[in-house]
Copies of this chain bind each other. A is one copy, B any other.
Amino acid sequence: MRITVLSGGVGGARFTRGLLALLRERLPDGAGGTTAQVTVVANTGDDLWLHGVRVCPDLDTLMYTLGGAVHEQQGWGRRDESRRVSDDLAAYGLGWEWFTLGDLDLATHLARTELLLSGVPLSAVTARLAERWQPGVTLLPMSDDEVETHVETVDGRMMHFEEWWVLHRAGVPARRFVQVGLDGSTAGPGVLDALAGADVVVVPPSNPVVSVGTILAVPGVRDALRATAAPVVGVSPVIGGAPVRGMADACLAAIDVATAAHAVARHYGRRADGGVLDAWLVDDADADAVAPLRAEGWTVEAAPTLMTDVPATAAIAARALALVDRLP
């Protein structure tokens, strides 16, 4: 069983952790793992060069979460993190003090930067770093090319996505996202094959605009998703009209999509109608979206989708995979 997941950071990482727990139970390999092969295609559109090092927020969140090193409450970054470096760095007054650069996280950035500067592509760097963390999945950046997301706010300012997201907490309404390098990027090694060769593709409850939307905009990815023989199942990142975490509502607003489970489904679209999904799992709180979506031809179910812990998340993954059997 080959499962491919298109993931952003925290939401996608937690979902994938639950999925792995489910697969270890259902398809155990006898050594504590699973015989299923899970490939995670990660968004790299939030990546940035900061103080000379390459920061890849979503890749790191996936690596730490699946490798058992994540700061659980925070959802990203390392457990037992400290800020010796960044506290001292602030004294130089170079800016970006609001961007957390933990000491342990910085070790990852330094290792990545050293490898990148020596000419190793990001995909191979990621594989090298993952050797330490053993995430139990094949972790693929969506592209080896650098993509940088900027935000144009309604008051006409341009800023790096991280500045808008972290410093301004997405509080300044965005007019649009400008993703430098995205149109000219190439899908990373293995990405298109992971879609073509999958038995199931899952779109976890990641940000549909700046995480999954960015992956889908890498030339070739949307076509590969539409062409794959595998069913494509999505889990709504919106519960009861609000993003579960993060500020996906601010991103959805910028592209004129309502923060509602049915609206996100329609934004992705059914493959039968030219979209990218075959099925959609919504939260029980959004059960009223089921009937209208079904009327439009969707395979859709409602279930508890709050990823409160790993067992609960495994159950969500089970409900998502079960949708495959209900496809027409």
Residues of A within 8 A of B (CB): 49-54, 82, 84-86, 88-89, 91-94, 103-104, 106-108, 110-111, 113-117, 128-129, 132
Q: Are A106 and B85 in contact (CB under 8 A)?
A: yes
Which among B50, B51, B114 is the interface contact of A94 at CB below 8 angstroms? B114
Contacts of A51 in B (CB 8 A): 110-111, 113-114
Contacts of A49 in B (CB 8 A): 117
A252 to B108, CA, bound (A): 40
From A92, which residue of chain B is reached at the shortest CB distance? B111
Q: Are A103 and B129 in contact (CB under 8 A)?
A: no
Which among B50, B54, B88, B113 is the interface contact of A103 at CB below 8 angstroms? B88
Which among B52, B107, B115, B132 is the interface contact of A113 at CB below 8 angstroms? B52
Which among B53, B54, B117, B132 is the interface contact of A92 at CB below 8 angstroms? B132
Which among B94, B104, B113 is the interface contact of A88 at CB below 8 angstroms? B104
From A52, which residue of chain B is reached at the shortest CB distance? B113
From A117, which residue of chain B is reached at the shortest CB distance? B52
Tell me how far the C-beta of A93 lies from the nearest C-beta in chain B, rounded to whole angstroms: 8
Tell me how far the C-beta of A247 lies from the nearest C-beta in chain B, rounded to whole angstroms: 27
Interface centre among A86, A107, A116 (most CB of B within 10 A): A107
Tell me how far the C-beta of A26 lies from the nearest C-beta in chain B, rounded to whole angstroms: 32
Closest 5 A/B residue pairs (Cβ): A52-B113, A88-B107, A84-B103, A51-B110, A89-B107
From A81, which residue of chain B is reached at the shortest CB distance? B84
Of the A-B pairs whose beta carbons lie under 8 Å apart in the complex, a sample of 20, sorted by A's number, is: A50-B114, A51-B111, A51-B114, A52-B52, A52-B53, A52-B54, A52-B110, A52-B113, A52-B116, A53-B53, A82-B84, A84-B85, A85-B103, A88-B107, A89-B110, A91-B107, A92-B107, A92-B128, A94-B114, A103-B103
A309 to B117, CA, bound (A): 42
